[in-house]
Amino acid sequence: MKIETKTAHFSSPLYLESGRILEPYEIVYETYGELNEEKSNVVLVCHALSGSHHAAGVYEGERKAGWWDELIGDGKAIDTKKYFVICANVIGSCFGSTGPMSNNYPSQEPYRLRFPVVTVKDMIRAQMQLLSSLGVYHLRAIVGGSMGGMQALQFAVDYPNLADDIIALAATYATRPWTMAFNKVAMEAIRRDPRFKHGNYEINDFKEEGLDGLAIGRIAGHISYLSPDSMDEKFGRNYVSNDGLFELFGRYEVERYMEYNTNNFSRIFDPLSYLYIVKAINTFNLTRGYDSLHDAISRIKANVYLISFTSDYLFFPSEMEHIVKMMKRNEQHCSYLKVQSDYGHDAFLVEVDKFEDNIKDILK
């Protein structure tokens, strides 16, 4: 599989939903496979909160594959022998695209909290500029899970003629208070950490030790991504063998797992980016800019394929089903798959075997 990582530079202004302007800006993106002469084999993949443009394959000298490597590649469901796959890092992220720790042109100082609030609409508008710069004006499909699924649905509404198929997994039509509450834990933990310094930290301040506030907030996130059954199966009531049961800070295996994963995460993910992307998730609402959800959904012309997971407690299956019912009433093309899973919200990343055939059939 041919992998290329590039940076696109844009000097023209990006007009944001807030009324502010981002200028200039950059988007880091990765491509897989080969673009055909007609440019008719393009599949756009959209990433979730903590994801990046590195969706598949392994970089030279590294072991860790891209976050959806099971789904994307030669002979896989999104077959890179047939399709030219593009995955762009969203604006606001910390993996190369313009975000809060990027320099606030023309100064050499980072934006920090002067960075404008961005929304999912803004993220896809930036990706439209990227596609235009590549001479790509029509997509075979747009695929994404969680926040990536939000982007896929927003594309379907805002750009009805852009794609043949929209495939959204573990997503919703609007973020509900339950999810916002989990996100609030992370936001407050970051803001109240003294080392956060109200956003006035330096770029490499957390490279070695991480930020405790982000680590704590990520624990809340992890709980929302999993499910009681998946935790029972993974950890049970097992106790860390070298911790004493009657030591106050002795740990069960689930506690050690949370510590390890969240501490590592806080070393590689920028806390300001986390705040900005969580804000984008919280403000997501397909209705905004339209008279009603029905009005927004009625604009969709693409074939829509929705995939939910029974144990997803972040974006419940009923939220996807609401879109299905509305599209069916409108006699729009919509197909729905509810996957039986104990893995919670993270099932769209870890149980690819349960829906890969479905995606392969769609792309056929």
Catalytic (active-site) positions:
146, 312, 345
Pairing of β 72-73 and β 14-15: unpaired
Identify the bridge partners of residue 308 per DSSP, sorted by sequence position: 338
- DSSP letters, 177-211, are HHHHHHHHHHHHHHHT-GGGGGG---TTTTTTT--
Strand, coil or helix: 13: coil
Tell me phi and psi for residue 279, to 5 degrees.
Answer: -60, -40
- In Å, what is the CA distance from 1 to each residue of 81, 91, 134, 236, 357? 8, 26, 20, 39, 20
C-beta separation of 245 from 30 below 8 A: no
